[in-house]
């Protein structure tokens, strides 16, 4: 009897043509049947946004044995939602993978990242999900050093799954790896985020840019520390953002709204 291969759903926020996603497909293609549904162009910073008022289109770009590649004019989350709705009605993915992103998605970037949006959407559908990112924004970045660990993590998640409501945020430093750290998200801040320019037609416009500051640089248990010191940072990330200690504190509040 023929054994059915795992189904691997892949998306990103750099677009289906990006080197990162194509390298990822090559890295995991022999581990299962691969379905790619990715934006038609760059969608960095889309986080978990989806298109509520824009009609969406799907275009089949590649169809080979064990591989289909679709592009979509929407966000990374749109791509995951459409793939699950249109292509996975009879067979759900065994894993959802975002990436490989061109650039860092550690610390508070987790909340802005379209790559993480892919993993979070998969996680919200109770599917084991992982996001891979490389701290190199070059469109021709070298992803080859990531191959062994990407395959190891993908195999591990396929074999063992992940807890309900938990996905993995995996960030690789550029260049040589000193090892792997399983760590927490660093507290950090973006500042000087808006650059104002003057248009020749006489109005102001703005570029969203910014500089990142690690607000706890000495803490050795964070993703930023790991990346700064040449380690691969793996951060287990959960969907439940409830602050349970605050629930206990707020239960002692007096919510009587009558005038006193």
3-state secondary structure the chain: CCCCCCEEEEECCCCCCCHHHHHHHHHHHHHCEEEEEEECCCCCCCCCCCCCCCCCCEEEEEEECCEEEEEECCCHHHHHHHHHHHHCCCCCCCEEEEEEEECCCCCCHHHHCHHHHHHHHHHHCCCCEEEEEECCCCCCCCCHHHHHHHHHHHHHHHHHCCCCCEEEEEEECCCCCCEEEECECCCEEEECCEEEEECCCCCEEEEECCEEEECCCCCCCEHHHHHHCCEEEEEEEECCCCCHHHHHHHCCCCCCCCCC
- pLDDT tier at 209 (50, 70, 90 boundaries)? confident
> What is the mean predicted confidence (pLDDT) over 177-198?
93
- pLDDT tier at 166 (50, 70, 90 boundaries)? very high
Determine how many CB atoms are found less than 10 A away from the CB of residue 180.
16
Q: Is the pTM of this model over 0.85?
A: yes
Q: pLDDT at position 105, please?
A: 94
Cα-Cα-Cα-Cα dihedral sign, residues 111, 112, 115, 120 = positive
Phi, psi for 139 (deg, rounded to 5): -65, -20
pLDDT at 176 over 70: yes
> What is the mean predicted confidence (pLDDT) over 138-155?
96
pLDDT at 38 over 90: yes
Q: pLDDT at position 3, please?
A: 62
Q: pLDDT at position 41, please?
A: 82
pLDDT at 68 over 70: yes
pLDDT at 194 over 50: yes
Please provide the average confidence, as pLDDT, over all residues in the chain: 94
- pLDDT tier at 234 (50, 70, 90 boundaries)? very high
Q: How far apart are CA 77 and CA 62, in angstroms?
A: 21
- pLDDT tier at 254 (50, 70, 90 boundaries)? confident
Q: pLDDT at position 22, please?
A: 97
Answer for the pair 170, 233: CB distance below 8 angstroms, yes or no. yes
pLDDT at 1 over 50: no
pLDDT at 260 over 70: no
pLDDT at 65 over 90: yes
Listed residue (38, 44, 82, 43) closest to 61, CA to CA? 38
> What is the mean predicted confidence (pLDDT) over 89-95?
95
- pLDDT tier at 193 (50, 70, 90 boundaries)? confident
pLDDT at 42 over 90: no
pLDDT at 156 over 90: yes
- pLDDT tier at 2 (50, 70, 90 boundaries)? low
């Amino acid at each position: 009897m023929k054994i059915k291969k795992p189904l691997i759903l892949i998306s990103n926020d750099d677009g289906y043509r990006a080197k990162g996603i194509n390298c990822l497909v090559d890295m995991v293609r022999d581990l299962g049947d691969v379905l790619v549904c990715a934006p038609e162009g760059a969608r960095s910073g889309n986080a978990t946004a989806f298109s509520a008022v824009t009609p969406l289109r799907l275009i089949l770009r590649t169809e080979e044995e064990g591989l289909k590649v679709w592009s979509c004019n929407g966000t990374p989350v749109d791509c995951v939602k459409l793939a699950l709705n249109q292509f996975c009605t009879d067979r759900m993915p065994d894993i959802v993978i975002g990436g490989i992103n061109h650039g860092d998605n550690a610390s508070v970037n987790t909340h802005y990242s379209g790559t993480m949006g892919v993993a979070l959407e998969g996680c919200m559908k109770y599917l084991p999900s992982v996001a891979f990112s490389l701290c190199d924004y070059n469109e021709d970045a070298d992803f080859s050093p990531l191959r062994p660990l990407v395959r190891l993590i993908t195999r591990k998640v396929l074999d063992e799954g992940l807890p309900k409501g938990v996905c993995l945020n995996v960030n690789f430093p550029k260049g040589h790896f000193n090892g792997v750290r399983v760590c927490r998200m660093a507290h950090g801040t973006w500042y000087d985020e808006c650059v104002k320019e003057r248009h020749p037609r006489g109005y102001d416009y703005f570029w969203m840019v910014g500089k990142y500051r690690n607000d706890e640089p000495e803490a050795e248990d964070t993703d930023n520390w790991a990346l700064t010191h040449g380690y691969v940072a793996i951060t287990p990330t959960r969907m439940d953002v409830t602050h349970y200690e605050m629930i206990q504190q707020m239960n002692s509040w007096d919510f009587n709204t009558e005038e006193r």
